[in-house]
Structure 1
C-alpha cells in the first residue's frame, strides 16, 4: 500500500498525517508516478494553512520527480518506465500519485530525480520572472528579497549570468555569504540595516529597475522605496503574510511605480509553456549557468518538521522530502 501525507483540516504543520492511500489506476489522460524525490515550497504551507484555498481533504505538495508506473487511455507521449518531473497540481507528498499527463516533464539524462525535484518549481519560477514578467537586460539592476532562499539562489545566479547587477537581502551573516556566493554583487542583512537606504546608496540615489519580493507583508512597502521612477515591483509570495495595498496612490507618490502579482498557474497554463520553461531551465543547469544544491533533506514521514523549518526561516536553498 502506498502512503501519503493527508490534510483534513487547515492549520499548522501538525495537520498533516501520514496515511495509507492507494492512488488507484490512471484515468484517461492521466499517468501514475512513483515519486523518488519531492520538492518543498512555501506554496505547500499556504495551501496547508488555508491561505490558498484547496478543497479538503487533500495531499499537499506541488513538485516532484519519479518513474511512470502506469498510463491511462489517450496518453501517447509518455510511457511506463519514463523518468519525469512535474510542478502542480497538489498531490506530491506521496509515495505514488496520479497526474495529468500534460503536466509531466520528461527528464533529460543529465537531470537526476533530486535535481529535478529541487529545481523545477523554483527554477521555472525564476525563468518566467527574469525572462517574461520583466525581460531582464544586461545593463539593468535588480533587488531580490530572500536571496538565500530556494528561488533566490537560482534566480540571482541566472540574473548575474544575464549581465544584470544583482542586489539581495538576507537575514543572517551565513545567508548573506551564501547569497553572495550565488550571484549577488551585494547582499544586505535586513536585520542590521534598512535595505531601502542601502539600495539608494548602492545606486547613487536612483533605485533599482525591478524588485522581486516573495517575503510579502513585512517587506512590501520598503521594497517600493527601492525602485527608480516607473520601476516594477514583482510580488510573488507571502512568506511573512499577504500584501494589501489599500491606497493605490502610494504608487504615484513613490514614482509612478508598477506592481504585478504573477503566478506559475498563469505563466504555465499550457503544456507547451510548461515544457518550454523546463527546457530552458535544464539547459541552464547543463551548461553550468545554474548549480542546483540540495541544502536539506527530510523523510516524507517528517513533512511537518520540514514545514516548521521552512516557516521558521531555518532553511536555505532547496529542501527535499524523500519517500
Structure 2
C-alpha cells in the first residue's frame, strides 16, 4: 500500500505544501502506528507552514487525526491493534494516510463518536476543556458569570459557546460578520458582537453594566489585544491562546495595574496534555460532553488530502466556520 504525507521543504505560503509518497515503519517503544480515516485542520498548521512557529525542515504538518490503530510498540498498554482512536499530539505529522507516533496523547475513540468528528474535535475540544475548566480567574467561574470569547464562530469558538452554556456561563461572542454572530448565538452565546462594525470593548461594558468580564479568551492576538484588556473587570484574566491576526506586541507591566490589577496568561494545550494520565482525564471530559449532545461538533468543510493547499487558503481567509477535516 502506498502511503502519502504532506510536507513542506521551506516555510511560506500554501504553495509550499506537497503531497509525497512515504514509508511507514513499525512502532518503537511507547509508539503506535495509526491509519487515518480523517485528519483535522487547525490554525496552528498555518503557523507551522508559514514559519511563525518554526519546525525543523523538511517538516510534516497536522496536529490531530482519527483512525484505527494498526500496531503498538513495547510499553503501550492503553491501546491495542484494531482500536478506534483519536488524538491531538506533537510532533506534527497528521496530514497523512498513516503514521508512527507517540502513543501517550492518543486515546480510544468511543463508538458513539465518528472518525470525522474525532478528527475535527480533539485539538479544538481539548483546548476548550483547558480554557473553561483550568484557565480561570481569581475565584474561578460560577454559573451566571460573563466571559468574552473571540472568534466564536470558528471550530474552537463554537465548541466553547456550547460548553459555556452547559456550565451556565454567559458567553459574549465576537466574530467578523453578522452571519458568524448568528452562528455563535445559535450555539449558545448569550450576546454576539461584530467586531468589524462595533467597538467590542464598549459593547462588553454596556452588556455588563460597566463592570466588564471575569475572563477574556483571545486567539486573535494583535487586532484584539488592547480591547480585550479594556473588557476585564478588576482582577480579571486575559488568556491569550493564539495570534491569528499577528503576535501580541510587548506591553508595559504597569498597564496591568492601570487596568485594575488584571492578570495575563499565555497557555498552550501541549503543556496540559504532557502526560498520558492528563490527556485521558481531559479527553474523558470532552468525550462526555460530545456523547451527551451538550457539545456538537460542526464540520463545515471536507477536503481531500490532495487539496490541502486550498484548505489552508480557505482557513487563512476565514472562510471556514466550525471545523474542517482532510480525508486521506
Normalising by structure 1, report the TM-score.
Answer: 0.98
Query: 1:76 Cα deviation (Å)?
Result: 2.9
SS state at 2:182 partner: helix
Q: How many residues align?
A: 323
Aligned equivalents of 1:317, 1:136: Cα separation in 2: 25
Query: 1:139 Cα deviation (Å)?
Result: 2.8
What is residue 71 of structure 1 aligned with on the other side? 72
Query: 1:30 Cα deviation (Å)?
Result: 1.1
SS state at 1:102 partner: coil
Per-residue CA distance 1:94-129 (angstroms, 9 max, x = gap): 001111121211111111101111111101110110
Match of 1:304 among 303, 309, 320: 309
Whether the aligned pair in 2 keeps the contact of 1:136 and 1:162 (CA below 8 Å) is no
What is residue 273 of structure 2 aligned with on the other side? 268
Aligned equivalents of 1:216, 1:292: Cα separation in 2: 24
SS state at 2:66 partner: strand
Whether the aligned pair in 1 keeps the contact of 2:45 and 2:63 (CA below 8 Å) is yes
SS state at 1:166 partner: strand
Aligned equivalents of 2:78, 2:125: Cα separation in 1: 24
Whether the aligned pair in 1 keeps the contact of 2:155 and 2:298 (CA below 8 Å) is no
Aligned equivalents of 1:115, 1:92: Cα separation in 2: 15
Match of 1:166 among 171, 187, 208: 171
Go from structure 1 to structure 2 and tell me whether the alpha carbon gap of 1:55 and 1:185 turns closer, same or farther (over 3 Å shift). Answer: same
What is residue 10 of structure 1 aligned with on the other side? 11
Match of 2:300 among 290, 295, 314: 295
Whether the aligned pair in 1 keeps the contact of 2:88 and 2:122 (CA below 8 Å) is yes
What is residue 50 of structure 1 aligned with on the other side? 51
Query: 1:279 Cα deviation (Å)?
Result: 0.5
Query: 1:320 Cα deviation (Å)?
Result: 0.5
In structure 2, stretches of 5+ residues that fail to align are none
Query: 1:263 Cα deviation (Å)?
Result: 0.2
What is residue 121 of structure 1 aligned with on the other side? 123
Aligned equivalents of 1:246, 1:176: Cα separation in 2: 30
Aligned equivalents of 1:256, 1:211: Cα separation in 2: 15
Of stretches 76-85 and 273-282 in structure 1, the one that deviates more from structure 2 is: 76-85
1:278 matched to 2:283? The reply is yes
SS state at 1:224 partner: helix
Whether the aligned pair in 1 keeps the contact of 2:79 and 2:107 (CA below 8 Å) is no
Query: 1:250 Cα deviation (Å)?
Result: 1.5
Whether the aligned pair in 1 keeps the contact of 2:147 and 2:171 (CA below 8 Å) is yes
Query: 1:75 Cα deviation (Å)?
Result: 2.5
Aligned equivalents of 2:23, 2:141: Cα separation in 1: 45
What is residue 102 of structure 2 aligned with on the other side? 100
Whether the aligned pair in 2 keeps the contact of 1:5 and 1:60 (CA below 8 Å) is yes
Normalising by structure 2, report the TM-score.
Answer: 0.96
What is residue 219 of structure 2 aligned with on the other side? 214
1:242 matched to 2:247? The reply is yes
Per-residue CA distance 1:13-60 (angstroms, 9 max, x = gap): 111100001122212221111100111011111111111121111110
SS state at 2:161 partner: helix
Query: 1:74 Cα deviation (Å)?
Result: 2.9
Match of 1:130 among 129, 132, 136: 132
Coordinate RMSD, CA, aligned: 1.0
Query: 1:254 Cα deviation (Å)?
Result: 1.4
What is residue 322 of structure 1 aligned with on the other side? 327
Aligned equivalents of 1:210, 1:161: Cα separation in 2: 17
SS state at 1:137 partner: coil
1:202 matched to 2:203? The reply is no
What is residue 229 of structure 2 aligned with on the other side? 224
Aligned equivalents of 1:76, 1:233: Cα separation in 2: 39
Aligned equivalents of 1:74, 1:269: Cα separation in 2: 17
Query: 1:69 Cα deviation (Å)?
Result: 1.4
What is residue 34 of structure 1 aligned with on the other side? 35
Whether the aligned pair in 2 keeps the contact of 1:136 and 1:159 (CA below 8 Å) is no
